[in-house]
Amino acid sequence: MAPSHVLRCCQRGLAWIPVIFIALVVCWSYYAYVVELCVFTVLSTTEQLVYLTFFHLSFIMFVWSYWKTIFTNPANPSKEFCLPKAEKERYEKEERPESQQEILWRAASNLPLYTRTGSGAIRYCDRCQVIKPDRCHHCSACDTCVLKMDHHCPW
Ligand SMILES: [Zn+2]
Ligand SMILES: [Zn+2]
């Protein structure tokens, strides 16, 4: 395996540490609430029932949302935002930024783009080789362009 490949695998493995930490905290809180509070401390059955029902309703919604958040892949820009093969080759060969921008302007003429860089240029990701749609940013942790990206959340 190439060293970069090994590094990538290690990074992926380490990325699970915060998630495992949260899962352990959740398990511990579940035990503290359900067993220690509801079973051993609260003695009235009606109170226990009310406490447990509300707790489990919120708990299920929390676990479901957390699960969806962890296992939903980030959305990437669609195919229309990739440069056609010929244009991509021209873009890579071109050294002057103005000519590169011309290629991008032509390719983006039919795309719904409203956001430009500070200098008025079309936003392009050299790593993913796509024109970045509005609100799309390259996530260095996921190493891909993510739509509507706000920040990479390790939790
Ligand atoms: Zn990310
Ligand atoms: Zn990217």
For residue 69, report the distance from its CA to the centre of ligand 1, in Å: 12
Give the ligand whose atoms come closest to the C-alpha of residue 74: 1
- Cα atoms found within 13 Å of the Cα of residue 22, Cβ hemisphere only: 13
CA 115 – ligand 2 centroid, Å: 16
Task: Read off the pLDDT of residues 58-103 as tens digits, 9 standing for 90 and up.
Answer: 999 999 999 999 999 999 999 999 988 988 999 999 899 899 999 9
125 a catalytic residue: no
- Work out the pLDDT band at 25, boundaries 50, 70, 90: very high
Query: Can you tell me the mean pLDDT for 109-118?
Result: 90
Residues with C-beta atoms within 5 A of ion ligand 2: 125, 127-128, 138, 145
Contacts of 51 (CB under 8 A, 6+ apart): 37, 38, 42
Which of the residues 9, 125, 142, 153 is marked catalytic? Answer: 153
Residue 32 has pLDDT above 90, yes or no: yes
The residue type at 10: C
Please give the distance, rounded to the nearest whole angstrom, from the Cα atom of residue 55 to the centre of ligand 2: 41
CB atoms within 10 A of CB 141: 12
The pLDDT score that the predictor gives to residue 64 is 97
How much distance in Å is there from the Cα of 19 to the middle of ligand 2? 24
Ion ligand 1 nearby residues (CB, 5 A): 139, 141-142, 152
The alpha carbon of residue 123 and the mean position of all alpha carbons in its chain are separated, in whole angstroms, by 20
